Structure formats: structure tokens, C-alpha cells
């Protein structure tokens, strides 16, 4: 009886003599390396943009400190003759609402270049302003919409969408070629079962091809510096390799089921391509459409109109709103100015808080709708192996929507702290200016020079921790087992037909 190893060795030797197979593998590896290059280039540009933003923040702070030192040393200098309080950092009002430069950056994970995911439409850094989160909510990648619509070519795109075609092509001749050449009957007479031939040849071909892919990508990523050469980098490559093996096992099982059911290579090729279309294109699109219809999000026009109504309501009730504010903060209440007569620069942050309080119900409604759609799509994705793999690759790279949502949550907490800090600084400055009015910005009033005390964003340690292999990814093994069962059923049915 021919052993499994001998059967695999014989098949691989025969496959190696076919020039088309070698060219296919070479082309696939080149496409994989190009995808890795594109992902690494995107990540380098993203890191450079983050560093430029942080450099801009530090430079703006240093320039503000230098200007404040010169101004408070000689406010009458001709350089400051035309200075306006709302356009200079030496005045707390101008610094809080215009001149303050603060950024929040999402730390990159070691395997970030292995999958771009949603990083091209969800920016890795945002500018944080004390007044509101609008700059964060509307922050998007500044790029042509056509490029964002089509997406970027990266390693994840190759593995999820192109690599299955390679595996199906390699498997198309397994068992079907033996049926066409009538060699299958002689092999059966030697005691080699059709199931052993099918799974040994399909497994050996695709396992060897997957091993070449993993080794090539891992070697290039380490040698090129795309993944750091440390424990975190090796762990990222290990998780990525395990996911590639799981995904390849699924498509190997699909190819085995196709070859078990088809009588020749031509029909196996068409059937494999049809299943690829079903799993890679039709099913994900149907899941997305189903989630959109089952969990609709309210129209954006409603949100815009609610924002306008909230602004009108807050502006109409400024006096009573400020009175309630100073009742809650008596330490900031002015002595000679009525609450309704407080300068707009002093009440500006409170008005922003009132607008958010008025909009809270609408915000919760939109957030609940978005969460419901995301939750429903995540549940439906269990029936789509391609969607599962796509989400798993993005999560391992740290470029998934859930991680970005956690980042935005941390930015929101930082923005609240920043606004509270500026609120206190502006109210205390207003009290000082009321007691001792200054003809121009002065330290006892609105003058400001404590730039180092302004809160800065710092990502939590958990946001920088690499994600573990998501449990949903192991469902790929269950999908593979289903197609293995289908292949066994098709072979048993063929044996019964031959006996009959």
C-alpha cells in the first residue's frame, strides 16, 4: 500500500515539472511582496504624518512660550502694537480658541503594515480642541474619494481575495486529472483510496504553497524592517501566519470538495471560481446590504437640523443658562457683571457644553443605531469565511474599527479634561480682569504663560497592546471541516455509483 508520504512526494515531483505551476507560485509571491511593500509604505507615511503633527504641537508650544516671555517683559514693544487678544497665545482667550495646538495619536501595533484595514479612512491622529469634538468626528483622510472607494492594495487584500484563487488552481487537477487519464482505477487496484489521494495531494500542494508564502512574507518583513525584530514583532508574524494557515485550510477544503464532486478539470475550475465569487463577493455584499436594511441609521440631515436647533435654543437661553452655571460654580461668579452680560469668550465653553447636553438624546440615538448595525454585521459575518478573515487580519494589525472607536473614546475623555482645564483658567482670568481691568492683556487678567500645564493626550497602555487571535477566526476550521465532510460524501456517492 502506497504510504501518504510517498504519494505526496510523487505528486509534488510531478507538479514541479509543470512550468505553469512554478510561474503561478512565483507570481503569487511577487504579488504578496508588493502588497507587503504597499502596506509598509502606507504605514511609514502614517507614522511620518503623526510625527509631524506632534512636532507641530511641540513647536507651537515652544513658540508660544518664547512669545509670552518677550511680551510680558515689554508689552509696549512696537512688535506688539497691533496684537489682537483673540489671535495671540499670550491671552488665554486667544490660546484656548485659536492658538492652542494639540494632537492625539493612535499608537501603531507591530504588525500594522500587514493589513491596512480601515486605517485609510479612519485617521491615526486627530487635532483636539477644547471647545468641541467636532474636529475629531469629521476628521478623515484627505484623499480623492475615488481612491477611498476602491481601497488600497495591500497584503491583506492579496491573502483574502487573490490567494484563494491560487489554492483553487493548484487543487483543480487533484483526482480530476486521474479520472480523465483513467489512472484512478489502477491506483485503486493498488490499494490507494480516492480519499487518500484527494486529501494527500490537495493538502501537500496547498500546505507547501502556504509555507512558501508565510516564509517569504515573514522573511521580507523582518529583513526590511516592516515588522520589528523583537518579541512583539515575532508574535505579530506568528499570529498572522496562523491565520493564513487557517484561511488556506478552508480554501484547501473547498478545493477538495470541488474535485471530489467534479468529473474533470474544466468543471472543477468553473466550480471553484463560482464558489470563490460566492464567498468573496456575493456573500459579503449580501451581509452588508442585509445589515444596512435591518439596522438603518437615521439620515444625516436630521443630525444637522438637530444641531442647528440646539444652537438656537442655547443662544435664546444664554442668561438663564449662565445663571445656572454660576450657581453650580459660585467660586467663578463675577461680582459686578450680570450672568447674561458675561463676555462671549468667557461663556463660550459653557455654551458648547450646553449644546452637547441638548444634543445628548440625538447623539445617543445615532450611536445606538451605529452600534446596532455593527453588532448585527458582526453576528452575520459568522456565516462568511471571507468576512471573518478580513476582520481578523485587520484586528491583528490594529487597524480595525473597534480599536479606532476605543481611540476616539480616549480622545473624548482627554477633550473633556482639556475643556475643563481651559474653563477654569478662563473663569479665573475673567475674575482677575474684573477686579483689576487691564488696558491690554496682562498677567493679572487674561494674560497666559503656563503652557506646560495644559493637558496633553497620552494613549492608555491597553491601546498599544497587540490583539490576540480573535476567536471568530477559529470558525474557519469549522468551515473547513464542513467542506471536508462534503468531499467525503461526494466520494462515497461516487463509490456507490461505480458499484451500482
Classified as helix, coil or strand, 174 is coil
pLDDT digits (tens, 9 = 90+) for 330-385: 999 988 888 878 888 899 999 999 998 999 899 899 889 989 998 999 899 989 99
For the CA atoms of 43, 49, 51, 54, the dihedral, rounded to the nearest 10 degrees, stands at -140
Read off the pLDDT band of 391 (50, 70, 90): very high
Model confidence pLDDT, tens digit, residues 235-259:
999 999 999 999 999 999 999 999 9
Q: Where are the alpha helices (DSSP H) in 224-343?
A: 231-261, 265-277, 283-294, 300-316, 318-328
- How far from each other are the two terminal CA atoms of the chain, in whole angstroms? 26
pLDDT at 11: 63
CA atoms within 13 A on the CB side of 277: 6
Model pLDDT, residue 183: 59
What number of CA atoms fall less than 13 Å from residue 296's CA on the CB side?
4
Cα–chain center distance at 328: 41
CA 406 to chain CA centroid, Å, is 11
Mean pLDDT of 119-130: 88
pLDDT band at 1 (very low <50, low <70, confident <90, very high): very low
pLDDT at 121 over 70: yes
Q: Which residues, in sequence order, are CB contacts of 214 under 8 Å at separation 6+?
A: 241, 244, 245
Comparing CA positions, the residue from 100, 135, 87 lying closest to residue 456 is 100
Contact 364, 257 (CB under 8 A): no
Mean model confidence pLDDT for the chain: 88
Q: Which residues contact residue 39 at a Cβ distance below 8 angstroms, ignoring those fewer than 6 apart?
A: 112, 113, 114, 115, 116, 154, 155, 156, 226
3-state secondary structure of 91: strand
pLDDT at 434 over 50: yes
Which residues is 127 bridged to in the sheet? Answer: 103
CA angle 142, 143, 145 (to 5 degrees): 120
Give, in degrees to the nearest 5, the angle at Cα 327 between 325 and 329.
70
Residue 436 has pLDDT above 50, yes or no: yes
Average pLDDT of the residues in 400-424:
93
Q: Is the dihedral of CA 165, 167, 170, 174 positive or negative?
A: negative
Is residue 224's pLDDT more than 90? Answer: yes
Amino acid at each position: 500500500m502506497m504510504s501518504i508520504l510517498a504519494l505526496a512526494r510523487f505528486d509534488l515531483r510531478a507538479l514541479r515539472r509543470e512550468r505553469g505551476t512554478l510561474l503561478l507560485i512565483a507570481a503569487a509571491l511577487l504579488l504578496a511582496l508588493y502588497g507587503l511593500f504597499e502596506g509598509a509604505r502606507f504605514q511609514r507615511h502614517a507614522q511620518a504624518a503623526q510625527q509631524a503633527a506632534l512636532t507641530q504641537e511641540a513647536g507651537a508650544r515652544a513658540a508660544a512660550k518664547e512669545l509670552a516671555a518677550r511680551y510680558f517683559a515689554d508689552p509696549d514693544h512696537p512688535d506688539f502694537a497691533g496684537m489682537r487678544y483673540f489671535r495671540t497665545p499670550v491671552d488665554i482667550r486667544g490660546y484656548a480658541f485659536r492658538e492652542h495646538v494639540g494632537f492625539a495619536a493612535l499608537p501603531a501595533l507591530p504588525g500594522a503594515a500587514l493589513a491596512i484595514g480601515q486605517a485609510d479612512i479612519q485617521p491615526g491622529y486627530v487635532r483636539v480642541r477644547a471647545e468641541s469634538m467636532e474636529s475629531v468626528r469629521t476628521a478623515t483622510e484627505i484623499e480623492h474619494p475615488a481612491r477611498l472607494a476602491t481601497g488600497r492594495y495591500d497584503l491583506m487584500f492579496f491573502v483574502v481575495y487573490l490567494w484563494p484563487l491560487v489554492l483553487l488552481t493548484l487543487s483543480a487537477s487533484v483526482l480530476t486529472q486521474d479520472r480523465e487519464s483513467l489512472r484512478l482505477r489502477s491506483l485503486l487496484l493498488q490499494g490507494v483510496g480516492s480519499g487518500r489521494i484527494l486529501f494527500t495531494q490537495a493538502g501537500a500542494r496547498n500546505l507547501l504553497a502556504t509555507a512558501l508564502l508565510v516564509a517569504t512574507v515573514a522573511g521580507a518583513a523582518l529583513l526590511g524592517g516592516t515588522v520589528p525584530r523583537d518579541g512583539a514583532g515575532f508574535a505579530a508574524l506568528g499570529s498572522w501566519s496562523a491565520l493564513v494557515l487557517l484561511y488556506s485550510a478552508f480554501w484547501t477544503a473547498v478545493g477538495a470538495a470541488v474535485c471530489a464532486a467534479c468529473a474533470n478539470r474544466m468543471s472543477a475550475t468553473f466550480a471553484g471560481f463560482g464558489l470563490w465569487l460566492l464567498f468573496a463577493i456575493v456573500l459579503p455584499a449580501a451581509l452588508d446590504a442585509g445589515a444596512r436594511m435591518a439596522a438603518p441609521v437615521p439620515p444625516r440631515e436630521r443630525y444637522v437640523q438637530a444641531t442647528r436647533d440646539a444652537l438656537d435654543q442655547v443662544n435664546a437661553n444664554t442668561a438663564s443658562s449662565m445663571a445656572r452655571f454660576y450657581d453650580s460654580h459660585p467660586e467663578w461668579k463675577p461680582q459686578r457683571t450680570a450672568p447674561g452680560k458675561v463676555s462671549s469668550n468667557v461663556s463660550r465653553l459653557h455654551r458648547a457644553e450646553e449644546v452637547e447636553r441638548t444634543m445628548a438624546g440625538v447623539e445617543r440615538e445615532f450611536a445606538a443605531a451605529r452600534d446596532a448595525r455593527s453588532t448585527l454585521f458582526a453576528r452575520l459575518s459568522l456565516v462568511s469565511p471571507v468576512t471573518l478573515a478580513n476582520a481578523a487580519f485587520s484586528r491583528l494589525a490594529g487597524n480595525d474599527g473597534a480599536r479606532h472607536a476605543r481611540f476616539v473614546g480616549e480622545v473624548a475623555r482627554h477633550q473633556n479634561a482639556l475643556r475643563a482645564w481651559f474653563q477654569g483658567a478662563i473663569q479665573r482670568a475673567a475674575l482677575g480682569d474684573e477686579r483689576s481691568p487691564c488696558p491690554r492683556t496682562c498677567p493679572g487678567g487674561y494674560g497666559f504663560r503656563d503652557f506646560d500645564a495644559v493637558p496633553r493626550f497620552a494613549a492608555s497602555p491597553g491601546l498599544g497592546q497587540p490583539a490576540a487571535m480573535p476567536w471568530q477566526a477559529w470558525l474557519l476550521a469549522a468551515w473547513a471541516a464542513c467542506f471536508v465532510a462534503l468531499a467525503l460524501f461526494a466520494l462515497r456517492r461516487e463509490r456507490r455509483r461505480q458499484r451500482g
